[in-house]
Amino acid sequence: MFFFAPNHYTELCEIMARNGSDKGGYRGIGQHNYTPYYHRLFGGMRYAARAVFEFGIGSTRADIKHTMGPNGTPGASLRGWREYFPNANIYSADIDKNILTPEYRIFKFFCDQTNRESIENLWRAPELKDVQFDVIIEDGLHVFDAQSLFMEMSLGKVRLGGIYVCEDVRDVDFPRWENALRILAAKNPGKTFQIVKIDNPRNQWNSLIVVR
């Protein structure tokens, strides 16, 4: 599935740009151009959503893999989601323990998404164990092993009718993803799995996996 959005400006584009997130891209704001697609994907549940989770708060530490770099803004997209989903609590997790200070309607937890036990402990946390999420977005370590493990262990936390998104899927990993998604689809017969490719302002493609 291809979604072209080079000239489609939405309210979510403005919200994410204002909060310092790189999820946008229209008119040079951000670099991924996810926001036009996300506005279409999430718009229908925007005011009904009660719980949204994003893995990957955004570390600026040089020793963290896939760091945002020194000019990044940790938690920028969480604040954007808080504004976009006005009736939802925003939950998040990251491997960097230095950025886990909670904020208004934003709750943060430690998790190493390469470690099965760590993910299990995340979902067993008292604040999370009984929560079913309207949206889960995985924007952590952008490598197949970490992404597929977190997806496998987190799909059960998405409520009926909710949406799971895995961001920044690498083209080189598509063959492995095709096999992994066949296995996950067999284990989750009520869900659909799509690879979505989105053009960005750099005339490149960003890829997402969307599960509904």
In CATH, the number for domain 45-211 is 3.40.50.150
* Burial class, 115, CB count within 10 angstroms (exposed 0-12 / middle 13-18 / buried 19+): middle
- Taking the domains of the chain in order of start, what are their residue ranges? 45-211
Q: Per-residue pLDDT for the chain (212 aa), expressed as one digit of tens each?
A: 555 545 578 899 999 999 999 888 655 555 678 898 999 999 999 999 999 999 999 766 656 666 555 566 789 999 999 999 999 999 999 999 999 999 999 999 999 999 999 999 999 999 999 999 999 999 999 999 999 999 999 999 999 999 999 999 998 999 999 999 999 999 999 999 999 988 765 656 688 999 99
Buried b / exposed e over 132-166, threshold 16 CB at 10 Å, is: ebbbbbbbbbbbbebbbbbbbbbbebbeeebbbbb
pLDDT of residue 31: 67
Q: Would you say 11 and 39 are in contact if contact means Cβ atoms under 8 Å apart?
A: yes
φ/ψ of residue 209, rounded to 5: -110, 125
**How many angstroms separate the CA atoms of 201 and 35, rounded?**
12
